[in-house]
């Protein structure tokens, strides 16, 4: 074994667990474990990806200008205040690398996205986990946890895995309550599924210490492509660009992402399907006696009466080739996170849970 000491925090990292994608001996697996798009990605993105094959010998551009221009155009944002990364995960990593280190605190919440504490430890900072109120971010609890060591606050809004959301007033109150040395990260991975929400762009316009992150992995159906972006003040973007590797994104990634974001008709179709199927999921789960908060994302959190029942429900689903996400690691052992599928996928999961719940009822 090497004698070279590992940097502080790194050995405390629990490896990220991703959604399962295979069940041995089954070729009809319905994967609802990673919040992927049931419609796939835009055909224009696939075409752009294929076309990029002709230029694989060329180094990509370092400034992502064309992609940033497209994002800026579609979302009405200043391209000079956008940074692109290998998934929004990389943008989140730039943030901790640039703004947190040993002795600093990084605030996340009880059921918050599991990447946040991993990122904090990656740079030797201390993750501080704040309780939520009924599976929703508690603004007062977050503000109460701030100390003079706090450097970054991470909130996903809509949140994963709860699907809940802070409204504009609560969000504003949170940001107004933070001292100026704290950077507020508004992770907008699920923005497009929350009708009419700007993802925190307005907040980033009004406050110099707010960054909004977004991804191509969810509504654009490009989780396999690995691309995301952030939007903040020029000063923050300038800092983050200094630690970004110049060639972090490939030609193929950028071309496909640009085609995807410009295909606004496809994006709208995905959002509409999701809204319709999400309503149906919540209504049906509730009718079956399974708890389900209103979700603003592309998944629902199904809550059972106990962790044992959730385990049995998961087994019943697996038995029929359906993979969902256990969320015990998020402090929700009695729940299952189920990605909203297409019509057929929702029918399959609801039929299975219907049989499961019927089998539990006393005669
Ligand atoms: C899926 C997800 C992301 C997106 O990650 P990528 O690296 O862009 O694939 C970010 N934050 C949350 C809360 C997510 O659920």
Does the residue 103 lie in any domain? yes
Given a cut of 70, is residue 1 above it in pLDDT?
A: no
Determine the distance separating the centroid of ligand 1 and the alpha carbon of 327, expressed in angstroms. Answer: 16
Tell me if 154 CB under 6 Å of ligand 1: no
Calculate the average pLDDT of the chain: 96
Segment 229-267, tens digit of pLDDT: 999 999 999 999 999 999 999 999 999 999 999 999 999
> Domain ends where: 240, 263, 286?
263
Segment 115-129, tens digit of pLDDT: 999 999 999 999 999
Locus of tokens 């002795």: 103
Q: What is the percentage of the chain residues whose pLDDT exceeds 90?
A: 94
Q: Are residues 84 and 228 in the same domain?
A: yes
What average pLDDT does this structure show over 43-68? 97
pLDDT of residue 22: 87
Q: Are residues 174 and 57 in the same domain?
A: yes
pLDDT of residue 360: 87
Question: How many CB atoms are located within 10 Å of the residue 212 CB?
Answer: 28
pLDDT of residue 162: 98
Tell me if 108 CB under 6 Å of ligand 1: no
Q: Whose CA is nearest to atom 6 of ligand 1?
A: 87
Q: Are residues 198 and 346 in the same domain?
A: no
**Confidence tier at 2 by pLDDT (50, 70, 90):** confident
Q: Are residues 18 and 57 in the same domain?
A: no
Does the residue 253 lie in any domain? yes
pTM metric for this prediction? 0.96
Determine the distance separating the centroid of ligand 1 and the alpha carbon of 138, expressed in angstroms. Answer: 21
Given a cut of 70, is residue 325 above it in pLDDT?
A: yes
Given a cut of 70, is residue 363 above it in pLDDT?
A: no
Q: Are residues 28 and 65 in the same domain?
A: no
Does the residue 15 lie in any domain? yes
Tell me if 93 CB under 6 Å of ligand 1: no
Segment 339-352, tens digit of pLDDT: 999 999 999 999 99
Tell me if 160 CB under 6 Å of ligand 1: yes
Nearest atom (ligand 1) to Cα of 88: 8
CATH code, domain carrying 331? 3.90.1150.10
Q: Are residues 253 and 271 in the same domain?
A: no
Range of the domain at 288: 10-40+265-358
Does the residue 127 lie in any domain? yes
Tell me if 228 CB under 6 Å of ligand 1: yes
**Best of 93, 96, 137, 217 for a ligand 1 pocket test (most atoms within 8 Å of beta carbon):** 217
Given a cut of 80, is residue 154 above it in pLDDT?
A: yes
Tell me if 156 CB under 6 Å of ligand 1: yes
Tell me if 125 CB under 6 Å of ligand 1: no
Q: Are residues 228 and 134 in the same domain?
A: yes
Determine the distance separating the centroid of ligand 1 and the alpha carbon of 363, expressed in angstroms. Answer: 44
Q: Are residues 23 and 82 in the same domain?
A: no
Tell me if 113 CB under 6 Å of ligand 1: yes
Does the residue 5 lie in any domain? no
CATH code, domain carrying 255? 3.40.640.10
> Domain ends where: 232, 263, 294?
263
**Best of 88, 111, 248, 337 for a ligand 1 pocket test (most atoms within 8 Å of beta carbon):** 88
Q: Are residues 59 and 132 in the same domain?
A: yes
Segment 161-211, tens digit of pLDDT: 999 999 999 999 999 999 999 999 999 999 999 999 999 999 999 999 999
Q: Are residues 212 and 228 in the same domain?
A: yes
> Domain ends where: 212, 240, 263?
263
List the single range of 70-79, 225-234, 352-361 with lowest mean pLDDT: 352-361
Determine the distance separating the centroid of ligand 1 and the alpha carbon of 220, expressed in angstroms. Answer: 12
Does the residue 4 lie in any domain? no
Given a cut of 80, is residue 61 above it in pLDDT?
A: yes
Does the residue 3 lie in any domain? no
Does the residue 1 lie in any domain? no
Question: How many CB atoms are located within 10 Å of the residue 343 CB?
Answer: 12
Q: How many domains does the chain have?
A: 2
Determine the distance separating the centroid of ligand 1 and the alpha carbon of 17, expressed in angstroms. Answer: 13
């Amino acid at each position: 074994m090497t004698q070279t000491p590992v940097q502080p925090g790194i050995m405390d990292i629990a490896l990220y667990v991703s959604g399962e994608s295979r069940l041995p001996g089954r070729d009809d697996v319905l994967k609802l474990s990673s919040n992927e798009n049931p419609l796939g990605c835009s055909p224009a993105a696939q075409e752009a990806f294929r076309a990029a094959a002709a230029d694989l010998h060329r180094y990509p551009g370092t400034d992502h200008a064309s992609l940033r221009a497209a994002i800026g155009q579609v979302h009405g944002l200043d391209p000079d205040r956008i940074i692109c990364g290998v998934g929004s995960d990389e943008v989140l990593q730039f943030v901790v690398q640039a703004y947190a280190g040993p002795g600093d605190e990084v605030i996340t919440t009880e059921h918050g996205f599991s990447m946040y504490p991993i990122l904090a430890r990656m740079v030797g900072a201390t993750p501080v986990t704040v309780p939520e109120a009924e599976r929703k971010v508690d603004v007062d609890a977050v503000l109460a946890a701030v100390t003079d060591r706090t450097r970054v606050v991470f909130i996903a809004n809509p949140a994963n895995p709860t699907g809940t959301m802070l409204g504009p007033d609560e969000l504003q109150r949170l940001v107004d309550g933070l001292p100026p040395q704290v950077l507020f990260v508004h992770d907008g991975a699920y923005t497009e599924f929350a009708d009419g929400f700007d993802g925190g762009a307005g907040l980033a316009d009004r406050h110099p210490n707010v960054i909004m992150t977004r991804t191509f992995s969810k509504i654009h159906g490009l989780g396999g492509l690995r691309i995301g972006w952030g939007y903040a003040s020029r000063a923050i973007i300038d800092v983050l660009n200094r630690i970004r590797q110049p060639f972090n994104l490939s030609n193929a990634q950028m071309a496909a992402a640009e085609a995807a974001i410009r295909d606004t008709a496809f994006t709208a179709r995905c959002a509409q399907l999701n809204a319709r199927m999400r309503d149906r999921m919540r209504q049906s789960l509730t009718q079956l006696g399974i708890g389900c908060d209103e979700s603003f994302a592309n998944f629902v959190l199904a809550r059972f009466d106990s962790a044992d029942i959730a385990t049995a429900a998961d087994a019943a689903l697996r038995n029929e080739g359906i993979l969902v996400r256990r969320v015990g690691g998020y402090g929700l052992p009695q729940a299952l996170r189920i990605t909203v599928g297409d019509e057929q996928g929702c029918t399959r999961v609801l039929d299975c849970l219907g049989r499961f719940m019927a089998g539990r009822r006393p005669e």
